[in-house]
A and B are shown apart, each in its own frame.
Chain A
Amino acid sequence: MRYLPLTEADRADMLARIGVASIDDLFADIPVDKRLTALPDLPLRKSEMEVERLLARLATENIAAANVPFFIGAGAYKHHVPATVDHLIQRSEFLTSYTPYQPEIAQGTLQYLFEFQTQVAQLTEMEVANASMYDGSTATGEAVLMAHRITRRRKAVLSGGLHPHYAQVVKTLSHMSGNTVLSLSPDVTAREDIIALIDKETSCVVVQTPDVFGNLRDLRAIGEACRAKGALLVAVFTEAVSLGLVAPPGAMDADIAVGEGQSIGNGLIYGGPYVGLFAAKAKYVRQMPGRLCGETVDAEGKRGYVLTLSTREQHIRRDKATSNICTNSGLCVLAFTIHMTLLGEAGLTRLARINHANAVKLADMLSGRRGVEVVNGTFFNEFTLRLSRPAAEVVERLAKKGVLGGVPVSRLLPEAGLDDLLITASTEVNTEADRLAFAKALGEVL
């Protein structure tokens, strides 16, 4: 087949049809000061050996999570991913297969999507789960939009314990669609009175538990208050392993449950791709975004799987679709599903207990030290420390001593006046040696 490129006349015709003078005009949404006017100063070429040497040297400037005592969380958690997971997801049948639009040739993919949905529904104790969103933050944004559609209201109330990045995503989506967001101020000690702010204009209340500071929250009273005013409760989690030990969203009668699935089966991988979990009550299924995999029987009565309720989606409903997402986080879903299958319920519970125990050991070791106070009354595997010096400075000094101690709250909330707070996480990967190294280094820098 020959390739015939566009002529100048073709281009002129298209530009005239669109109604712009030049192709540059189509980039009008990018602020002028962000546009590249010249190519960056890079060498034209280097050999493969030179490039390897150069990049390897650059990489040594990083402190890799695997090489040091590591206590960073705040939305992404370092857990052990069994070698089995990596081995199986790299099977070419899984790795190279495309979106399962044609069920007759995609039963393998569809079966694991169905297993995944089943696992998510069981973990969250919700009635129906979808085949995943991009990540926890966009899942939260989509949950808010779904609540607006169901209640026909446009105001979301966000807890001060919600991860600031998640709140930012909700605000971006809301701003573009003219909806309102009432975002409570950062709630370090989980004492906010969010119920007082629920009114007849509220479509949903979005509460995270364990929250960004690590506090566990009982959502039941909030749920009841929502129902009394016709609003929905959206429960959020950033640490999926917590579902092995704490009360899940369904047990607290959440209407929609969303969160990040990265902790199960997926490493930190430099921030993504991750996997958004999305579950809801069955009565809301037609308002759910994303792909849904269903179980059925074929013409010969044999069990099979298909993508279903497609009329929610963009390729059929167009501008009236529940979302413009037209994909899911397939490979991360598969990794989650394999790891979850290996763990089982008993294994996940054991894993969660180890996480909590390690966090308790760390909290015990650090509190009572001069200049350190554990702020939380409750936590799962992550808690907040109040330090006698700005936390950002402490983190830098700890890093120079080879300890990655956590996320300073000032990094997430630069203007909140919470510069003395440090969020620190402890999972099953941490050893006693790690904890001792942290405690020792902290003593030296405070």
Chain B
Amino acid sequence: MSETKFTKDHEYVRLDGDTATVGITDYAQGQLGDVVYVGLPEVGKAVTQGGDAAVVESVKAASDVFAPISGEVIEVNSGLEGAPSTVNEDPLGKGWFLKIKVKDRTEFDALMSEAQYQDYLKTLS
């Protein structure tokens, strides 16, 4: 049974056992505009919570995507290379960025639930 949590930097994490799927939220893709490029890390790379994980580029901006939790990158969504717009179309589904093998579940537990994230978004506008 998977569970999805959110960060203040507009990443989401969907945890399935010890595999976490990470991407950016619908709010983030809307703010960015048309995504033209996603720079993904190498498989095998160790990431720490809050550290650089990926880069997402639209025509006008380049944004760092931070690792919402620590672990090892076990898979990246190489399909985004040919179709970066998937991030805009289906950010929480086919537009995922990378999968991390999680070491410390408590990092995940401390993140925001969907309801908390939606409340957080209201404070931004």
Contacts and interface: CB of A to CB of B under 8 A. Distances in A.
Contacts of A400: none
A103 to B, nearest CB: 13
B37 A316 contact: no
Contact of B61 (A152, A286, A316): A316
Contacts of A320: 55, 62, 64
A393 B30 CA distance: 70
A341 interface: no
A182 to B, nearest CB: 25
B57 interface: yes
A317 B63 CA distance: 8
Contacts of A286: 37, 39
Interface string A59-77: 0000000000000000000
A90 interface: no
A118 to B, nearest CB: 23
Contacts of A316: 60-62
A311 B37 CA distance: 10
B27 to A, nearest CB: 21
Contacts of A152: 42
A378 B61 CA distance: 50
A317 B37 contact: no
Contacts of B57: 311
Interface residues of B, number: 9
Interface size class of A (residues with CB under 8 A): under 10
Nearest to B42: A152
Nearest to B58: A311
Which of B42, B62, B64 has the most chain A CB atoms closer than 10 A to its own CB? B62
Interface string A300-321: 0000000000010000110010
B74 to A, nearest CB: 19
Contacts of B64: 320
B38 to A, nearest CB: 11
Contacts of B60: 316
A324 to B, nearest CB: 16
Interface string A135-154: 00000000000000000100
Contacts of A317: 62
Which of A152, A286, A311, A320 has the most chain B CB atoms closer than 10 A to its own CB? A311
Interface in B96-118: none
Contacts of A311: 37, 57, 61-62
Interface in A116-169: 152
A350 B39 CA distance: 45
A311 B55 CA distance: 11
A419 B37 CA distance: 53
A320 B55 CA distance: 10
A392 B42 CA distance: 53
B62 to A, nearest CB: 4
A43 to B, nearest CB: 54
Nearest to B39: A286
A317 B42 CA distance: 20
A276 B107 CA distance: 49
A320 B39 CA distance: 12
B32 to A, nearest CB: 11
A311 B34 CA distance: 13
A393 B57 CA distance: 58
A233 B29 CA distance: 38
Nearest to A316: B62
Interface string B49-69: 000000101001110100000
Nearest to B55: A320
A312 to B, nearest CB: 9
Contacts of B42: 152
Nearest to A312: B62
B12 to A, nearest CB: 23
Interface string B4-47: 00000000000000000000000000000000010100100000
Interface in A272-321: 286, 311, 316-317, 320
A320 B63 CA distance: 11
Contacts of B55: 320
A307 to B, nearest CB: 12
B41 to A, nearest CB: 11
Interface in A316-369: 316-317, 320
A433 to B, nearest CB: 59
A52 to B, nearest CB: 52
Contacts of B62: 311, 316-317, 320
Interface of A: 152, 286, 311, 316-317, 320
Given A286-B37, A316-B62, 12 more contacts: A152-B42, A286-B39, A311-B37, A311-B57, A311-B61, A311-B62, A316-B60, A316-B61, A317-B62, A320-B55, A320-B62, A320-B64
Interface of B: 37, 39, 42, 55, 57, 60-62, 64
A-B pairs, 8 with minimum CB distance: A311-B62, A311-B57, A317-B62, A316-B62, A316-B61, A286-B37, A311-B61, A311-B37
14 contacts: A152-B42, A286-B37, A286-B39, A311-B37, A311-B57, A311-B61, A311-B62, A316-B60, A316-B61, A316-B62, A317-B62, A320-B55, A320-B62, A320-B64
